[in-house]
Amino acid sequence: MIANGQSLVASRPLHPMFCDKRPGPGGVSFGMSEAGYDIRIAQDVVLHPFKRFSLASTIERFDMPDDLVAIIHDKSTWARRGLSVFNTVAEPGWRGWLTLELVYHRWGVLRIPAGAGIAQAIFHRTEWPADYADGKYQNQENRPVEARSSQRNP
């Protein structure tokens, strides 16, 4: 089941969280949507033929309840401009600022202003509570975070 509207507001998985859709920089909105929440990018990003990939982070801090999972999807306005935001998952119990993986598929220059809506988070209720507790990205910093190894030192 998808959590939306007042159910999503009551769960407070994001901080800050707005109960309506708001206009954003670059003509791309953010805030509550009909079936999810449009999250914002924290950094200005410029992509072009010689720099097609970038990491960025969200303005919103995630604090996922143990009965919600968020699936992050492209926002159609950016997709129509040639940008893919790789789908990622915010697990139940995960906390931190989400790192986004951005790929540009066109030949011109694409400027993404800080504060613009960048992706849509769809929140699903889990059948059983779960907890990401000790994952390698738990309490992720307020910046883009590079990949971390899953290997543990003996």
Which residues are paired to 21 by β-bridges?
Answer: 31
60 among known catalytic residues: no
DSSP conformation class of 114: T
Task: State the catalytic residue, choosing from 91, 101, 127, 141.
Answer: 101
User: How far apart (Å, rounded) are the C-alpha atoms in residues 60 and 95?
Assistant: 11
Q: Are 118 and 77 in contact (CB under 8 A)?
A: no
Element (H, E) at 90: strand 88-90
Residues designated catalytic: 101
